[in-house]
A = this chain, B = another copy of it.
Amino acid sequence: MAPVAQTDSSSSEYYQLVNSIKPDYITISEYIFLRIYQLGIRSVFGVPGDFNLNFLEHLYDVEGLDWVGCCNELNSAYACDGYTKTCDKMSVMVTTYGVGELSALAGVAGMYSEYSPMLHIVGTSALSMKNSNKRMHHLLSGSNTYGSPDHFVYEETATKYSCVQGSIRDDAMEACDTVDHVIREIHRHLRPGYLFLPCDLTEMRVPVSRLDEPLGSEYEPQNFVKAGTVVDTILQRVYASQNMAVLVDYFTGRCKMTGALGVLLDKLAGKTNVFDTFMGKGIVSEDVSGYVGTYQAGMDNEQLAGVLEDADLVLHLGAFDVEMNSGLFTSKLATERVISMNIDSVVVCGEIYTDLNMRDVFEQLVARLEGERVAASKKYAVEPYLRSSGANALNLVDLSNKLESTLTADDVLIVDTGSFMFGMGTLKLHGARFVNQCLWAAIGFAIPATLGACIAKREMGSNGRVITVEGDGAAEMTLQELASLVRYGLDPVVYILNNDGYTIERVIKGPYRSYNDIATNWNWTQMVTCFGGEKPGTRISNRQDLAQLQYQRGLHLVELIVPKFDVPQSLSNMVIRSKSKS
């Protein structure tokens, strides 16, 4: 069947299209896929299994919606995260009951923690089985072998790792309500939500007319009057400040407030010192007027950190207060001098409002702000960051230099959690999007996330490339998803840091211990052709070759031979500090 038009779905074209090709009723499966399509999503990630095959059959009813099969479910979740963080759309994943959904759980938990919206559709056991006492494959054995099994055990587990759960039952209208509710809540909370679809209900007929009213993916500001009062207070503080600074953080991106941020920075141009955080990197360009750098508190450049800490008012936009994002508990920003706002709260110098959030107040604040009433903040002399790679072997500084000199505003840079990540605070992105998973910090995220990011870029029709950096120990975790990059003809550049094991763990503990070794002597450059790709990778072991490296078309794997104990300065600092404490 042809697709339902995504945009302008209330227009007469929409009705014509629907009425010309649809009967009055469609299956609940098709309903779900059409809801997804209406939101502008064109890719569905996942892994097939007995309990979702009936559902997946209906994906082919919606032209323009593509299946992206992943090698396993954890990888699929990471791919979804990479997709969402690249294009800001909700991602969609389909897994099977028990074995599939639980395999994906760690990835879902990461998305929940980092507010990355996903619709996770699980094909479950039949409704007719759910209340029986029959024991079947994929169903968890209970506490004994003779009692009735619990078909809802996985659904219960999901409640801790998602913002909403919907379990489809055999009433058609209720089922549509459930689907719509789950999708709405995901967009409100920007976190994963579950839809459990029993395999014997996939053909249940629901009225197509339910699709007439599309589900908006945009947040509608709430509590306008109260928001106005809070904005009044904020403006008073802003106008009273003599040395305000702006700190751009994670939720500015997630809450889609980058447009308003641009207006704000224009109004404040030349007047205010501007910083970003580690998880907020890339939201604001390093070229913007007043940009000082990435605030990492005591973790790295203390002179730079001192500028922000000296401000009498910090406008902390999209704040995400987690240790990896705020200098590992070294932040010195005093509550009474900070106005912060994010996905679920606004805090004005210590006073918290939990019935308001950034999406309620920020646009109003920006609209009402009179730039000329803001005092110019102090100017500080911050020595420019000099990155030195030394005279010795190829190392991570050389890679930073390479990235900084080649990244463009169309690119997406994906960095896995690991030693290189800790040097990112000083890297200029030149407008490239920075995708990471630095709160959840599960190594192995990057290769599958690269799949998702590439699919997102293809869907968006955007230029530029996905450039990925990952250590060998991390890459090993989810290696097989390189094959999907080949399968779907994608063209990222994947740097593999061959440093002979878990370097970041070596510097924390057990530098020479076997637990920090990994399987060695892999032929990384042959890996792509092993997975069916045309071109082998490139192995680089000296500075000059890296500097001169031209990226190939198509998937390009670049193996960098770097020293076993080569880590960025900020990581050494962190380890020294933590050891001196203990």
Contact = CB atoms under 8 A, between A and B. Distances in A.
Interface of A: 48-50, 53-54, 56-57, 59-60, 67, 69, 71-74, 98-99, 102-103, 105-106, 109-110, 112-115, 134-141, 143-146, 153, 156-157, 160-161, 163, 319-324, 329, 342-345, 347, 352, 354, 438-444, 476-480, 483-484, 486-487, 502, 505, 508-510, 513-523, 526-527, 529-532
A48 B507 CA distance: 13
Contacts of A354: 144, 146
10 contacts: A53-B515, A57-B509, A72-B74, A72-B477, A73-B106, A98-B440, A112-B141, A134-B323, A476-B483, A519-B532
A561 to B, nearest CB: 15
Interface of A is mostly: loop
A440 B99 contact: yes
B484 A519 contact: yes
B144 A345 contact: yes
Contacts of A509: 53-54, 56-57
Contacts of A443: 99
Contacts of A102: 105-106, 109
Given A53-B505, A72-B478, A135 B323 contact: yes
A138, A143, A479: which has the most chain B beta carbons within 10 Å? Answer: A138
A266 B383 CA distance: 87
A100 to B, nearest CB: 8
B48 A505 contact: yes
Contacts of A531: 519, 522-523
A160 B135 contact: no
A354 B147 CA distance: 11
Given A57-B513, A73-B106, A523-B531, 5 more contacts: A50-B508, A99-B440, A103-B442, A113-B141, A521-B532
B515 A67 contact: yes
B57 A517 contact: no
A316 to B, nearest CB: 12
A542 to B, nearest CB: 23
A71 B476 contact: yes
Nearest to A532: B521
A445 to B, nearest CB: 10
Nearest to A476: B71
A222 B372 CA distance: 85
A517 B49 contact: no
Nearest to A104: B106
Contacts of A53: 505, 508-510, 515
B56 A510 contact: yes
Contacts of A146: 344-345, 347, 352, 354
A510 B517 CA distance: 43
Given A67-B514, A99-B106, A137 B479 contact: no
A518 B69 contact: yes
A109 B140 contact: yes
A444 B143 CA distance: 26
B99 A502 contact: no
